[in-house]
Every structure is written in structure tokens, then in C-alpha cells.
Amino acid sequence: MNEQRVNMPLLGEQLPELQVVTTHGPMNIPGDLKGSWFVLFSHPADFTPVCTTEFVAFQKRYDQFKALGCKLVGLSIDQVFSHIKWIQWIRSELKVEIEFPVIAANDSIAMKLGMLHPGKGTNTVRAVFVVDPTGKVRLIMYYPQEIGRNIDEIVRAVKALQISEKGCALPAGWPNNELIKDRVIVPPPNNITEADKRREQYESFDWWFCHKSLDN
């Protein structure tokens, strides 16, 4: 029996180059977004209830993403005319203006990103790719069609990724962690000399679990 293989970029890999048609005109992704963080997210289909709630939720947080220097790009296997009509419906009926582009993808584009799964036809799963300014995939989330995403978590993830580039790690639920609240974790030492100094340098539970304020 032949099994359909789902291909997708891995964390740390370059997002595949995609020449696409969008509601904002033709785009080359990630090329046209180089130098900026962006979130590429897929939805199963236009004019569906869960997807509509997600688009409104993304737009409601548009300014939060913008403050992080992060752009939004939607995607599904629908014609651009369908995207336009759906966006017009959201504006007319829900009084929400969708400001980000939406890609009119085809099966080939969706397969490059692992957005088509066996048994789901041409409906893309709810995938999220957070891509850094160099075009590298830094975070991937996949949700089934039946479950709407938590957009606040995507905002938090982008913010955390950007902070982690300062040489620290972020605890569970940051910035509301049960143990260290909004503090960040100091990377563990890689030799015994540094290990012996750690508890003098930072607040800690032990030499391998040291933490500090984000400002330090």
C-alpha cells in the first residue's frame, strides 16, 4: 500500500521559496519579507466558522504583532476571488478590516509546507510557521481542523523567540511562570569552573537552574 508522505520544513531550516498570488498581489515568500519576522498560517477554507473566528482574532492582535516587527500572512487552497469575497464579508458583517495578505495556494504550495494531510482532501490543516528575518523557520504549530488556535499564544511565542536571541531561555507559561514569574533562565554552564560560580552570580535553585530579570 502506498502511503502519502507529508513533507514540511524543520525547525532551523529555510522556509521554501514560494511564488504566490495573494489578496495584496503577487508575493515571493520569504524573499519579500526578508528582514522581518512573520507568521505564516493556514486555514482549511474560506467561509467556515472556525476559520472566521481565527481571522478576526489575528486581526484583533494585528497591532501587537506589528509592535514586535512581525507580519502576518494567511493561506488556504481557495481562489483569490474567494479570499476577497470572504474578507469583504468579514468587513461588512463583523466590522473587522483584515489588513494582512491571504495566499491563494494550490496543492503544490501546501504540500511543500506539509499543510495537506492524508484523508483531509484539499483542506489545509491549521498550521503556523513563525519565521525569523533570515527566512529560517523558528517555530511550528499544527492544529486539527476542528480546533481553533489560541492567537495569544502565537503572540507570546514570537515575543519569546525574540527574547531568546539575547542568550536566554524562557520558562513554561512565561511571563507568568509558577516558579520564576517573568524572569528568564540563564543557559547552564558547560564546565565545572563556571558551575561553581553560578550560584554567586545569579538567583538560582541550583547551579543548573539559574534565573535573572530580563533587564540584566
Give catalytic residue positions. 51
**Helix residue spans in the chain (DSSP H):** 49-60, 62-67, 80-94, 107-112, 151-164, 192-201
- For 194, residues 6+ apart whose C-beta sits below 8 A from its C-beta are none
Q: Tell me which residue of 47, 31, 38, 114 sits closest to 74, measured CA to CA.
A: 38
Cell 528568564, residue located: 184
- For 108, residues 6+ apart whose C-beta sits below 8 A from its C-beta are none
CB atoms inside a 10 Å sphere around CB 48 = 15
